[in-house]
Amino acid sequence: MNLIDTTKELERVCDILKQQKEIAIDSEFIREKTYYPIPCLIQVACKEDAFLLDPLAEKMDLSPFFSILQDEKILKIFHSGRQDIEILYNLSGSVPVSVFDTQIAAEACGLGENVSYENLVRACCELELDKTCRLTNWQLRPLTEEQMQYALGDVTHLLTCYAKLSDYLKEHQRESWVAEEMADLVDITHYQIIPENAWQRIRHNSHSLAFLNALKALACWREKRAISQNTTRQNIMKDEMLINIATAFPKNMAEIKQVRGMRSDIVKSILVKEV
C-alpha cells in the first residue's frame, strides 16, 4: 500500500474517481498549535478501490482532486464532515458540491444524535473497527502499513453506510428532513474567516453595549494576530482575559495594568497600539 504523493499518480486516481457516482472522503489533520489545521492525509474510497492522498508531499498538486470535488455528478460522502470540508476549503478555496453526511442522515434514521463513525459502522455493517492507531501523529513520515490500513478504514465502510441510510430515508420519506442540514454543511460562509465576527465565538452573559463593542474590537484584534502568526486564538489571549478587559473597559495603560490576569508589558503595549 502506497501514499499517492505525486501529481501524476493523483491524475491516475482521479481518472478512476471521475467514473464514480459516489465517493467517500475523510481527512486526518493536526489542530493543536496552529490557527489553520495542518492537513496530513486525505482518504478517498469508491466501490472498486480506496486511496490515500498525501497533501504534505512536495511533488503533489491537488488540483485534479479539487476538480472532482466540484463535479456535481459525483456525490461526496462524509461522516461528520464539517472539519473535513474546512480542510478542503482551506486547500482549494472552494467547498465541495453534491455532499452527503452520514452523521446527519443517521440521526434522521433514528440512530441518535452525533453518532460516531465507529457506532455507525457497527449498526450498518455489523463490524468492529480497529482503533489501535487512533492517536497517530499523521504528520510524520513514513506511515506504517498498519497506520495506512487504519486510515483507509475511515472511508472503506462509508459507501455501505450511505447506501443503507439513503434507502431508509427514501423508504420512510425523510429525505426532506436532512436536506436543509446538508445544504448548510456546504454554506461557504461557515468556512470564510471574518475577524470582525470573531466575538460571536466567545460565551458571555453581558448585554452592555459598551462591553459588546469592546469585546468585538478585542476579538477582532486577537483573530487577526492569530492568523498572522498562525497560532491558536487562546495562545494570543484566552477568552476569559478578553472578557475581563471588555468588562473593565480600561482607557489607558494604568487601567490596563489593573485588569486581573493581564499578561506581559509586550501584550499590553500591543493592545494599546492595535485595538
Domain harbouring 209, CATH code: 1.10.150.80
Q: Which cell numbers hold the place of 54?
A: 498525501
pLDDT category of residue 189 using cuts at 50, 70 and 90: very high
Return the DSSP state at 190.
Answer: G
Q: How many domains does the chain have?
A: 2
Q: Do 213 and 185 belong together in one domain? A: no
**96 within a domain of the structure (yes/no):** yes
Where is the domain boundary, 151, 174, 190? 190
**1 within a domain of the structure (yes/no):** no
pTM, whole model, 2 decimals?
Answer: 0.89
Residue type, 76: K
**β-pairing verdict for 50-53 and 99-101:** unpaired
**2 within a domain of the structure (yes/no):** no
Residue pair 228/236 in contact by the 8 Å Cβ criterion: no
> Which residues is 52 bridged to in the sheet?
43
Q: Is the dihedral of CA 167, 112, 157, 180 positive or negative?
A: positive
- How would you classify residue 215: left for phi > 0, otherwise alpha for psi between -120 and 50, otherwise beta? alpha
Where is the domain boundary, 172, 190, 208? 190
Q: Do 200 and 162 belong together in one domain? A: no
Q: Do 207 and 164 belong together in one domain? A: no
Per residue in 50-101, pLDDT (tens digit) is 999 999 999 899 999 999 999 999 999 999 999 999 999 999 999 999 999 9
Question: Using CA atoms, how far apart are residues 111 and 113, in angstroms rounded to an integer?
Answer: 7
Q: Do 247 and 211 belong together in one domain? A: yes
**256 within a domain of the structure (yes/no):** yes
Where is the domain boundary, 148, 166, 190? 190
Question: Using CA atoms, how far apart are residues 140 and 37, in angstroms rounded to an integer?
Answer: 15
**219 within a domain of the structure (yes/no):** yes
Domain of 262 in residue numbering reads as 195-274
**β-pairing verdict for 22-30 and 38-45:** antiparallel
Per residue in 2-35, pLDDT (tens digit) is 799 999 999 999 999 999 999 999 999 999 999 9
